[in-house]
Amino acid sequence: MASKPPAGDPVQDSPQVKAPKHAAAGIPAVAHSLLISHQQMGARRTARTLLKVNQKNGFDCPGCAWPEGDHRHTAEFCENGAKAVAEEATVRRVTPEFFAEHPVSDLFERSGYWLGQQGRITHPMYLPEGADQYEPISWERAFAIIAEELNALGSPDEACFYTSGRTSNEAAFLLQLFAREFGTNNLPDCSNMCHESSGSALSETIGIGKGSVSLDDMHQADLIIVAGQNPGTNHPRMLSALEKAKAAGAKIISVNPLPEAGLERFKNPQTPLGMVRGAALTDLFLQIRIGGDQALFRLLNRLVLETPGAVDEAFVEEHTHGYEEFRAAALAADWDETLVATGLQRAEIERAAEMALASKRTIVCWAMGLTQHKHSVPTIREVVNFLLLRGNIGRPGAGVCPVRGHSNVQGDRTMGIFERPDPAFLDALDREFSITSPRHHGYDVVRSIEAMRDGDAKVFFAMGGNFVGATPDTEVTEAAMRNTRLTVHVSTKLNRSHVVTGVRALILPTLGRTDKDIQAGVKQIVTVEDSMGMVHASRGNLPPASPHLLSEPAIITGMARAVLGPSSTTPWEDFEKDYANIRDRIARVVPGFEDFNARVARPGGFELPHAPRDERRFPTATGKANFTAAPVEYPKLPEGRLLLQTMRSHDQYNTTIYGLDDRYRGIKGGRRIVMVNPDDARELGLADGAFTDIVSEWKDGVERRAPGFRVVHYPTARGCAAAYYPETNVLVPLDATADTSNTPTSKSVVVRFE
């Protein structure tokens, strides 16, 4: 089973390699973001757009989900936020003429980078059965086709409704309402591939699947541990919070197989001095082996337990459950095994323990480096154990901080985008709309792919995202998509999912965050929830990319009316005319949104309740915060193999590629690179600059191959390798998923080189 890199791509992928950087942001960051913005938007539009990012009367940055502070700079933007905005606010257009010139067979041969660079899609487009060309179609006809296919299904469970995390609260609420009224909980979302492991671990242990810290907590912490996260690239505004925490005396430990520039030193573009000199951020760098984090935190827990007076006995007694069992397991943690699992020195772990013991307020932040492994859920539970031991949850300056990806991925979940909804949520929804939601669980991302592959799902609808590009096992996924009757993508830009289609396909172009949204003559706002549970309004201010676009809520209401017909008593038309009507319903269904319209009108929005943070109340099955005692796991590799993590470069937003550089890591002009520790490379006979195929090994014996990668000798931890996603998704087996959360193990793929 061999795959080839996309051919016919006019963009030459020929990586140049220089020494990695030791600081993030600064002057090159500002220069680079302005360059990309000018290319996509021109000078006037750049100024007009960037001034509105994350301002209280502007739009929410379509980049990451890091919160905005109360005191915003005039240009509260970062390099990668600016790139995300430029990508959406581009003046380039993909028109019906474009599709006439480029049949699907041509577009199929292009890279994702090329597809995205063509600009905003201007018209609804339809690919009829047997055709090789998308043709323009009216909205009415598009909705009729969806209705035809959905209503012909043997069961509503033969349809899947995917959501990516940019979708507003209003659109997400409508989509899940539509799916449930139609009769299915098949609501896979990008979370399934992202922070699902965090949600699973946190709901079980603290009773809510969300982080417990605010920005203020970050500023007040004594110790912040950043594990498995690259904020310099993926959450650049987080560096300002880390800088502020440091200025107030906090210490920072980073736990990562790679020395990431942003965590070493930050040159704050908002302050003249910071721009030049920068602040050192990391006090202790633990260069861990991929997948060694559970072992690390388990041993840290042993060291805390062995230190007299270190455990917050009162907290443990009053608020937790399962302590004795956990304590026994943690005391049994073995030094030798931990050193093997982590690749760290004993002194480094002892130093980390000293810092943890010296801290009265500790926060642990994490992202994909912790969530995308087989044992991610027990790993994150061990992080929770670590925090519970010293009472570091539910007090200022302390807590759990899973740093979310997409700008509204957390809000989409709050709105009910979930294949395993809480029965209480469904009860409230049913009462409000006089419907009967299905109670059986739906498909997540991996199960949706399996269902399409096996012919059990026949219609695939995506509210944003790039399902084909973002999911694992590219060849299997592509075959699964082709096995459907109809694929529908609500999109702003062209991507791989538009060229690997069902028998018929629709592209429904929509407004983005930056676009002005006018319904029935009135300018609409939408709302989003950030990584720290703050809900606020977002107002686009640019003329839409084309007069033929519909907003996401308008697309859902149009589809709902066509599919459900007059028998639906839901007032879809009212929802389309005024999104305040949607918010009134959200206020009655979703806890924490009481008086939604009034509260979101306040500048800065409002904070959602969080029982562990607000009142040290833990709504778990035991009514307490749960210690857990899972056996320690870590990856064990056969001879001559490395563990590959698939990650983001500095010039991409998930499957959207902004450019071919990864500036902080010293890579220029190409993406098909694989980073290998020089000592491993020598043992494996991989010269720097040599080209290799990466072959993944999995128990099914299927050979998954990603050809033609340039070897880069790079200071990653021993036994580990790193390459970019989505080029390497072909290597991730569909059934290699995390226990409990079912998240693809994109950060631990066993590979060999040929």
Ligand X SMILES: Nc1nc2c(c(=O)[nH]1)N[C@H]1C(S)=C(S)[C@@H](COP(=O)(O)OP(=O)(O)OC[C@H]3O[C@@H](n4cnc5c(=O)[nH]c(N)nc54)[C@H](O)[C@@H]3O)O[C@H]1N2
The residue to which tokens 């907003």 are assigned:
551
Closer residue to ligand X (CB): 263 or 563? 263
Distance, CA of 676 to CA of 475 (rounded, Å) = 26
Q: In the bound complex, what is the minimum distance in angstroms from residue 436's beta carbon to ligand X? A: 29
405 binds Mo ion (CB under 5 A): yes
Q: Which residue has the tokens 């042993």?
A: 302
x/- binding map, residues 169-198, to Mo ion, per CB under 5 A? -------------------------x----
Spell out, one character per residue from 318 to 357, where the chain touches ligand X: x when CB under 6 A holds, - when not: ----------------------------------------
**Cα–Cα distance measured from residue 75 to residue 10, given in angstroms and rounded to the nearest whole number:** 35
Closest Cα partner for 513 from 75, 170, 191, 79? 170
Binding to ligand X by residue 490, rule CB under 6 A? yes
Residue in 290, 545, 675, 694 binding ligand X, rule: CB under 6 A:
290
Q: How far is the CB of 476 from Mo ion (least distance, A)?
A: 21
Cis peptide before 726 (omega within 30 of 0): yes
Residues 6+ apart with CB under 8 A from 669: 12, 13, 14, 15, 16, 660, 661
Nearer to ligand X, 40 or 437 (CB): 40
For 381, 387, 720, 722, 727, the CA distances from 473, given in Å and listed in that order, are 28, 36, 21, 17, 11
| Mask for 28-67, x = binds ligand X (CB under 6 A) | -----------------------------------xx---
Q: How far is the CB of 197 from Mo ion (least distance, A)?
A: 12
How many residues touch ligand X under the rule CB under 6 A: the total is 59
Write each residue from 157 to 186 as x if it is in contact with ligand X (CB under 6 A), else as -, in one continuous string.
-------xxx--------------------
User: Exactly one of 230, 320, 342, 527 binds ligand X (CB under 6 A); which one?
Assistant: 230
* Dihedral sign, Cα of residue 104, residue 93, residue 47, residue 76: negative
Determine if 738 is a binding residue for ligand X (CB under 6 A).
no
Distance CA 192, CA 611 (A): 24
| CA angle 474–480–482, rounded 5-degree value | 105
Question: Judged by CB under 6 A, which stretch of 146-154, 229-237, 356-364, 612-620 contacts ligand X?
Answer: 229-237
Give the integer Cα–Cα distance in Å for 69 and 488: 37
- The nearer residue to ligand X, 323 or 443, going by C-beta atoms, is 443
475 vs 465: CA distance, rounded Å: 18
Residue 80 binding: pick among Mo ion, ligand X, none (C-beta 5-8 Å cut-off by kind): ligand X
How many degrees, rounded to 5, is the angle at CA 408 between CA 520 and CA 537? 45
Query: Do the beta carbons of residue 404 and residue 531 sit within 8 Å?
Result: yes
Q: Which does 512 bind (CB under 5 to 8 A by kind): ligand X, Mo ion, none?
A: ligand X
Q: Which of 187, 367, 400, 751 binds ligand X (CB under 6 A)?
A: 367
Residue 464 CB, shortest distance to ligand X, in Å, is 3
Return the percent helix, strand and coil in the chain, to nearest 5.
40, 20, 45
Interface positions, 194-213, toward Mo ion (CB under 5 A): 194
Residue of 46, 205, 491, 524 interacting with ligand X (CB under 6 A): 491
Count residues near Mo ion (CB under 5 A): 2
**Is 193 a residue that touches ligand X (CB under 6 A)?**
yes
Question: Is residue 330 within 8 Å of residue 298, measured between CB atoms?
Answer: yes
CB of 539 to ligand X, least distance (A): 14
CB of 170 to ligand X, least distance (A): 13
Can you read off the two tokens belonging to residue 569?
Answer: 């008593």
- Going by C-alpha positions, the residue among 396, 85, 400, 10 that lies closest to residue 225 is 400
Token pair for 35: 């360059």
CA distance 478 to 568: 35
- Residue nearer to ligand X on the CB measure, 165 or 733: 165
Shortest distance, CB of residue 195 to ligand X, whole angstroms?
Answer: 7
Phi and psi at residue 225, to the nearest 5° = -100, 125
The one segment of 30-38, 243-251, 322-330, 643-651 that binds ligand X by CB under 6 A:
643-651
Determine, following the binding rule CB under 6 A, whether residue 265 of this chain makes contact with ligand X.
no
179 contacts 186 by C-beta, under 8 angstroms: yes
DSSP one-letter code for 662: B
Binding to ligand X by residue 405, rule CB under 6 A?
yes
Select the residue interacting with ligand X from 572, 709, 725, 753 (CB under 6 A): 725
**One residue of 90, 342, 570, 729 binding ligand X per CB under 6 A:** 729
164 binds, among ligand X, Mo ion, none (CB under 5 to 8 A by kind): ligand X
- Residue 262 within binding range of ligand X, rule CB under 6 A: no
d(Cα 318, Cα 639) in Å, to the nearest integer? 49
Task: Take residue 412 and report the two structure tokens written for it.
Answer: 């989409």
Shortest Cβ distance from residue 533 to Mo ion (Å)? 17
Name the binder of 256 from Mo ion, ligand X, none, CB < 5-8 A by kind. Answer: ligand X
- Per CB under 5 A, 549 contacts Mo ion: no
Nearest approach in angstroms of CB 567 to ligand X is 28
Name 694's Cβ contacts closer than 8 Å, sequence gap at least 6.
Answer: 644, 674, 705, 706, 709, 721, 723, 728, 731, 751, 753
**55 vs 198, which CB is nearer to ligand X?**
198
Closest approach of ligand X to the CB of residue 466, in Å: 4
First vs last C-alpha separation in the chain: 15
Q: Is residue 726 a contact residue for Mo ion (CB under 5 A)?
A: no
192 binds, among ligand X, Mo ion, none (CB under 5 to 8 A by kind): none
Chosen from ligand X, Mo ion, none, partner binding at 465 (C-beta under 5 to 8 Å by type): ligand X
| Number of CB atoms found within 10 A of residue 669's CB | 14
3-state secondary structure at position 108: helix
Binding site for Mo ion (CB under 5 A): 194, 405
Binding site for ligand X (CB under 6 A): 63-64, 80, 164-166, 190, 193-194, 227-230, 233-235, 255-258, 260, 288, 290-291, 293, 367-369, 405-406, 463-467, 470, 490-493, 495, 510, 512-513, 552, 645-648, 652-656, 725, 729, 732, 746-747
